[in-house]
Amino acid sequence: MSAKLSWEPPAVVSLDDVLKLNAEVSALPDLPIDVREDVFRIHGLEMDWDIGVVSYEPTDRSKIPTGPDGKKVGVFLLHGGVSDFKSVERIARTLPAKYGIKVASMTFPGRYYFHDANRDWPGDVENSDGSARTPLWTKETKITKDQYTVVQDTSKRENYGTLVSLAAKEGTEFYHRMAAWPVAFEAALKETARRQFPDGAFSIYIHGHSTGGPFAMMASQRIANIAGLVGWGSSPFGWMYPLISADDWEFPFNQLRLRTWRDTARYMYEGMKAKGIGLPMLIELTFELWESAKKRPNFKAEDFIHKNSTCALQAAARAAAARLKLSNREGDELVQRYLGYTRELSGAGVKPVPNFLSIHGINDDTVTLGRCERSQPLFAKLNPAPKVRAVSLGAGSHSWGWSDEKLPQGIIPPVAKLWHDAIMNGFFER
């Protein structure tokens, strides 16, 4: 065990070594796996919320490995800010097929499309009649266009293009949902862990891609059997975001941001910018990719936790408290609960932040290696401080879906190998 506990990830994995890891994992035999959907209803702030989870595990459950702590190994996946469980489906299938690890992939509240067997969203995000796509917080949820106004914002145009948001009108269901979803998110995380990875039987290693990162951080102290944080392009705690990005995100809590073809262009450009492709072709490729990308949710309420929008979080908590007719003391407690979602918990008897393995693709311009390195001194100030290691991978952009001729499965096999080795060799043991 002492040898295992000395295991450290490489700081840099060259392209040649990425290719070697890819070949090593690809050569492993595939275990048969079972894929199951788990749709359940939770309650938060006197509202119902339907949650969709997809689990992946070896058909022969005896193949699920036992980690250094003597418990079965489970990986809990959270996707990023554009998508749903489908954006992490390839890593979700690779981990059980190659290593026997059980995986549960939870879609953010409101983003699971219950009305299509393939869980693909229909139509486009924006419509010519002024309506737009809105969340399905329950199967029955219907947010009509009289509940919002469309807001266009050019303040961040240089990096994001024009931001298009739906501003929920006060008093509507849309408004009340936008005020309450943070509590639903916390409840969904806890219930998913309880249903998929029973405490005492499993240790959980949680991953949040990009926007999912701060929610994985938040969950890591609130769910007893989360033993580690496994990253790929993962943002840290929300409070760290403005400090490592030099960016602020103080928009009203009732604004739901639409993710449009502009976001497809932004992420696609990461992997294309060095290839000398002309602008007309890049535009064509953007809209070709958007035809498939628009099947994913492409709306985002979660910026306010992701990017530490404290004013918006306080206002959301006050709006929820007013709907519930809470006392002043209860309202203040709800405000502190919301603000706590962007920060680590501290104090006597509090579960420490687990160790964090943070991996980044060489062409990731969104959650960059530099941002991870700037976050390390901030993690070091936590008490107790987790072990945080940054790994620079010699391939890949921000998206899990990236691939090329040499790596037809993208960075999935190398990242799966690094996660597996970190777990099994005791990196997350404290």
pLDDT tens, 13-26? 999 999 999 999 99
* 5, HSE (Cβ side, Cα atoms, 13 Å): 6
pLDDT tens-digit profile of 164-173? Answer: 999 999 999 9
Per the domain annotation, does 429 fall within a domain?
no
Task: Please name the residues in contact with 28: beta carbons below 8 A apart, sequence gap of 6 or more.
Answer: 98, 99
Per the domain annotation, does 270 fall within a domain?
yes
Task: Evaluate whether 189 touches 49 at the Cβ level (below 8 Å).
Answer: no
Q: Which of these, 274, 296, 276, 290, lies nearest to 118 by C-alpha position? A: 296
pLDDT tens-digit profile of 30-57? Answer: 999 999 999 999 999 999 999 999 999 9
297-322: average pLDDT: 96
Q: Which of these, 22, 16, 13, lies nearest to 413 by C-alpha position? A: 22
pLDDT at position 134: 97
Per-residue tokens: 422? 């970190």
Number of folded domains in the chain?
Answer: 1
- The larger pLDDT score, comparing residue 199 to residue 5, is at 199
3-state secondary structure of 427: coil
pLDDT at position 2: 43
Q: Is the pLDDT of residue 3 over 80?
A: no
Question: What phi, psi does 38 have (nearest 5°)?
Answer: -125, 105
Share of the chain above pLDDT 90, in %: 83
Per the domain annotation, does 379 fall within a domain?
yes
Per the domain annotation, does 77 fall within a domain?
yes
* Integer Cα distance of 331 and 321 in angstroms: 5
Element (H or E) spanning 159, and its range?
helix 157-160
* Integer Cα distance of 241 and 14 in angstroms: 28
| Sequence letter at residue 357 | L
pLDDT tens-digit profile of 239-284? Answer: 999 999 988 888 999 999 998 888 888 777 766 766 777 778 888 8
Per the domain annotation, does 363 fall within a domain?
yes
Per the domain annotation, does 234 fall within a domain?
yes
Order of strands, edge to edge, in the sheet holding 33-44? 12-13, 388-393, 356-361, 226-230, 202-208, 72-78, 102-106, 47-58, 33-44
Per the domain annotation, does 430 fall within a domain?
no
Q: Report the CATH number that the domain containing residue 18 is assigned in CATH.
A: 3.40.50.1820
CA distances from 391 to 17, 66, 105, 274, 363 (A): 13, 25, 23, 22, 13
What residues make up the domain containing 190? 2-424
Per the domain annotation, does 89 fall within a domain?
yes
